[in-house]
Amino acid sequence: MLEAFGLSDPGCIRTNNEDYFMLVAPLDLYIVADGMGGAQAGEHASKLAVETLVDFIAKAGSTSGEVLLNAVQEANKRVLAAADGDAALHGMGTTLTACWKVGPELLVANVGDSRAYVYQRGELNVITEDQTWINEVGRRLGLGDDALRTHPMRHVLTMAIGVSESLRIHSYAVPLEPGALFLLCSDGLHGVVTPLEIVETLSGDGSLEDKCKILIDAAKRAGGPDNVTAVLLRNETNGQ
């Protein structure tokens, strides 16, 4: 079992929080979702997607990357169905980043632009790949970081849960090393907190709770323009 702690905050601008996270210690399953949609639809989408994924895995009876991918697919179906059945929820969607410890590996599934990082041996690396216009289109057009930082398409997702029956899921299997720290976060954190600040926080002293609070505070000091969620996982064993 991984040591885990999570924290979410509405940020400095928004009054509601469309982010949703869940730490399911008995399953060693950890999830972050960032909802979108009018009124309360974003909140509904993120919560529904996370709870569907957890329920699917709890009932699966087996552990594998295929089970995780099927769980994400089921979450997509449930969010689509809910939006179809209620006009107030039409157009809702959510990102979803899930980490599941299976044996000596951490299985990761990702849709959208919430991220998973790993910090080990003094280095921070992004595990996931953002499904955004900037990452999948803008960079391939040769646009530089300065242009992308202010581009009108910078917040546009190219994929999300609940948007289409055709879903692209990025999946990864990361070997668990003793002492490795994993960060799951919404773009309200990684969009405003620099990699250097993240490294300084993860490498410093303090509990996982302390580190989550520091990361949330850093996002809010940077203006907190969006909801911000941070989940930290620590592997204290040899991964077995």
Q: What is the pLDDT of residues 177-203, one digit of tens each?
A: 999 999 999 999 999 999 999 999 999
Backbone angles phi, psi at 72, to 5 degrees: -65, -40
Residue 185 lies in a domain: yes
Residue 207 lies in a domain: yes
Q: What is the pLDDT of residues 89-101, one digit of tens each?
A: 988 999 999 999 9
Residue 6 forms beta bridges with which residues? 231
Count of the separate structural domains present in the chain: 1
Q: How far apart are CA 124 and CA 114, in angstroms?
A: 16
Quote the DSSP letter at residue 153. T
Nearest to 188 by CA among 168, 209, 215: 215
Q: How far apart are CA 133 and CA 204, in angstroms?
A: 34
Residue 240 lies in a domain: no
List Cβ neighbours of 1 (8 Å cut-off, separation of 6 or more): 25, 28, 101
Nearest to 20 by CA among 53, 60, 40, 49: 49
- In the chain, the N- to C-terminal Cα span, in Å, equals 9
Residue 35 has pLDDT above 90, yes or no: yes
Residue 149 lies in a domain: yes
Residue 228 lies in a domain: yes
Residue 210 lies in a domain: yes
List Cβ neighbours of 195 (8 Å cut-off, separation of 6 or more): 124
CA angle, 20 then 168 then 164, to 5°: 75
What pLDDT, on the 0 to 100 scale, is given for residue 13? 95
Residue 33 lies in a domain: yes
Q: How far apart are CA 49 and CA 41, in angstroms?
A: 12
CA angle, 98 then 103 then 109, to 5°: 20
Q: What is the pLDDT of residues 200-215, one digit of tens each?
A: 999 999 999 999 999 9
Residue 91 lies in a domain: yes
Amino acid at the residue 236 = E
Residue 200's domain spans which residues? 3-234
pTM for the model stands at 0.93
More confident residue, 137 or 21: 21
Q: Residue 14: count other Cβ atoms within 10 Å of its Cβ.
A: 15
Q: What CATH number did the domain enclosing 87 receive? A: 3.60.40.10
